[in-house]
Amino acid sequence: MTPSSTSTPSGTALPARQEHLLDVLRQADDEISGQDLHARLRAGEGAMGLATVYRHLRQLQQRGLVRCRHLPSGEALFAPTERDEHHLTCVDCGHTLRLPHCPVHGLELPTTHLEGFRPLFHTLEFFGLCANCQRRQAQTAPRL
Amino acid sequence: MTPSSTSTPSGTALPARQEHLLDVLRQADDEISGQDLHARLRAGEGAMGLATVYRHLRQLQQRGLVRCRHLPSGEALFAPTERDEHHLTCVDCGHTLRLPHCPVHGLELPTTHLEGFRPLFHTLEFFGLCANCQRRQAQTAPRL
DNA sequence: CTTCCTGCAAAGAGTTTGCATCAAA
DNA sequence: TTTGATGCAAACTCTTTGCAGGAAG
């Protein structure tokens, strides 16, 4: 139960605290925000400052181990790269629906035109109006 | 040259200023930020306050006419929905590469499990390390 | 008169950075 | 001694909201 060393695509071993941070992400049911992650770490053993959390998250992202997407609110959500989740988010109220499976499974980039870029992860997110907000909008502007 | 009325999916006509704002978005070469859009409007005829720009952008989003995605920096970028662009962004320096075509062309959501959601647009973005940042990283951690 | 739209300025949120400190090599 | 990691708090950015003025119906 103690994944003591995660091998990274670049081959170097992970510092202990980053390893721990990654574990918390893996144990989470869904993506979590930086703030949330910080709170969870604080609750457990490996408490660390908020700044450090973000610093590690960035490094994990650069190693391709952590994926990040941004809510319309500007909040960033993090998840392990290996987890391939996608969401449908309401552009009005922000309510989020997790999609049952990845619509684009083995998604590949063409290797040309990449200018030396090394792709690490992708985000695919859907946006729309939830049932509630559609109703609310219909009341204001009757002409559907 | 004067698209005087854009018909929306919901059937209602667009207020003049939103129409104009949408035009500026369409004329832009690529996605632009709220701030940038504000500046361009200010430079031309239809100058309006920053708050108003954001207010209109939100409404256009809710009508499915404008698409929005967030940079790692938290900045929001806007584009007309009909334009189907995707990018490869460096997680380190933020350098962005526009992909020559949409990797997932006619992307469709399963109509089940949507709980009344009405999808309006999607974002598909790739993240990785650009050539420069790979080089820089390699210098710090030699073991590739 | 009522309603909607607008601008300005202030507030708000999340994230990043500066700096002094502390541990490790 | 030198290097790298950390916490705290201040700073920063973009975005949203409150409120009063003004136009439209």
- Does residue B85 surpass a pLDDT of 50? yes
**pLDDT at site A7:** 52
Which of A12, A117, A133 is opposite residue B130, by nearest beta carbon? A117
Distance B121 CA to D4 C1' (A): 45
- Give the C-alpha separation, A49 to B115, whole Å: 39
Domain boundaries, chain A: 16-140
| Shortest alpha-carbon distance between residue B117 and chain A (Å) | 4
Say which CATH topology domain A16-140 has.
Arc Repressor Mutant, subunit A (1.10.10)
DSSP A83-137: ----EEEETTT--EEE-SS-SSTT----STT-TT-EEEEEEEEEEEE-HHHHHHH
Round to the nearest angstrom and report the end-to-end CA distance of chain A.
Answer: 55
Tell which strand C nucleotides have any atom below 7 Å from a protein Cβ: 5-9, 13-18
**What integer is the mean pLDDT of A112-120?**
85
- pLDDT bracket for residue A54 (50, 70, 90): very high
Strands of the A87-90 sheet, one edge to the other: A96-98, A87-90, A118-129, B118-129, B87-90, B96-98
pTM of the model: 0.86
Which of B11, B121, B127 is opposite residue A143, by nearest beta carbon? B11
Cα B105 to the center of its chain, rounded Å: 17
Q: What is the pLDDT of residues B6-20, one digit of tens each?
A: 555 555 788 999 999
- pLDDT bracket for residue B71 (50, 70, 90): confident
Q: What is the pLDDT of residues A58-95, one digit of tens each?
A: 999 999 999 999 987 788 999 999 988 889 999 988 88
Cross-strand partners of A79: A67
